[in-house]
Amino acid sequence: MAPRIAATAAEAVANIHDGATVMIGGFGNAGQPMELIDALLDCGASNLTVVNNNAGQADAGLALLIKERRVSKVICSFPRQSDSWHFDEAYRAGELELELVPQGNLAERIRAAGAGIGGFFTPTGYGTMLAEGKETRMIDGRGYVLETPIHAEFALIKALRADTLGNLVYRKTARNFGPIMATAAKQSIVQVDEIVAPGSLDPENVITPGIFIDTLVTIGDTNS
């Protein structure tokens, strides 16, 4: 199904409900779908599980969702930063569950969900605290940990450009988690700088095929 084209970010995220698992793209500010996150803040959904590389910075975006106690669990690799004060406070208060995952395992678990893989053995994290309680196995003399897919109901993604069929291209290191989160969520919601006609994107250069995309919204050119 060709994606719905929402008129506003608010309309794009309107289906996100209490208790949903929401993947949010971005590494630092690059690729962070800030307008969609702001709309999620406005829409009022709570008790969210958020999958993101980080856990919010300063007083914006995901950090505000956490400040408002709308997030009950964060699955991420790097929550603690110099300006992650809202995460730090909620976590220390015991009001926010944290599942800490090495970044590559986070990425591979998201990919596995999108790719229909039931689990995989990874050497990353073997012998560490983060493998405690997980199944391990020696394969050809090396230790591996069994990791499981991370599925989500929604993904919020920022791309550079989409065609009306949902095919996406990204920009530089802002690509990061977008392509894999788009495959792992039941509904992928994407903010782009512009939406173009089918045939405007070279089929060789499409990074995310439109099959993975459910909703598009144009946010104007946020890169310049």
Partner 1 sequence: MSTFTTTDAALTRDEMAKIVAVDIPAGAFVNLGIGQPTNVSNFLTSEQGVTLHTENGMLGMGPVATGDEIDGDLINAGKIPVTELPGASYFHQADSFAMMRGGHLDVCVLGAFQVSGGGDLANWHTGAPGAIPAVGGAMDLAIGAKSTWVMMGLFTKAGESKLVETLSYPVTGLGCVSRIYTESAIFDLADNKVTVRSTHGISFDELVARLPVDLHKA
List residues binding a second copy (CB under 8 A).
108, 112, 115-123, 137, 139-140, 142, 144, 169-172, 202-205
Nearer to a second copy, 9 or 157 (CB): 157
158 vs 143: CA distance, rounded Å: 36
218 interacts with partner 1 by CB under 8 A:
no
Per-residue binder mask for partner 1 (CB under 8 A), 139-178, x = binder: ----x-------------------xxx-x--xxxxxxxxx
87 vs 55: CA distance, rounded Å: 6
Cα 190 → chain centroid: 11
Q: Quick one: what does residue 119 bind among a second copy, partner 1, none, with the CB cut-off 5 to 8 Å set by partner type?
A: a second copy
Q: Distances from the Cα of 104 to the Cαs of 131, 141, 159, 160, 177, in angstroms?
A: 14, 21, 21, 24, 11
Residues in the chain, total:
224
C-alpha dihedral over 19, 21, 22, 28, to 10 degrees?
A: 110
User: Using CB under 8 A, which of the segments 12-20, 44-52, 62-70, 100-108 binds partner 1?
Assistant: 100-108
Nearer to a second copy, 58 or 139 (CB): 139
10 vs 111: CA distance, rounded Å: 28
Nearer to partner 1, 198 or 220 (CB): 198
161 vs 192: CA distance, rounded Å: 5
Contacting partner 1 within 66-95 (CB under 8 A): 77-81, 87-88, 91-92
**For partner 1, how many residues bind (rule: CB under 8 A)?**
73
C-alpha dihedral over 211, 42, 54, 91, to 10 degrees?
A: -140
96 vs 74: CA distance, rounded Å: 7
- Contacting partner 1 (CB under 8 A), which of 50, 102, 214, 217? 102
- Contacting partner 1 (CB under 8 A), which of 21, 105, 187, 191? 105
Q: Quick one: what does residue 120 bind among a second copy, partner 1, none, with the CB cut-off 5 to 8 Å set by partner type?
A: a second copy
> In the bound complex, what is the minimum distance in angstroms from residue 212's beta carbon to a second copy?
17
Q: Quick one: what does residue 118 bind among a second copy, partner 1, none, with the CB cut-off 5 to 8 Å set by partner type?
A: a second copy
Nearer to a second copy, 15 or 222 (CB): 222
157 vs 165: CA distance, rounded Å: 16
Nearer to a second copy, 94 or 204 (CB): 204
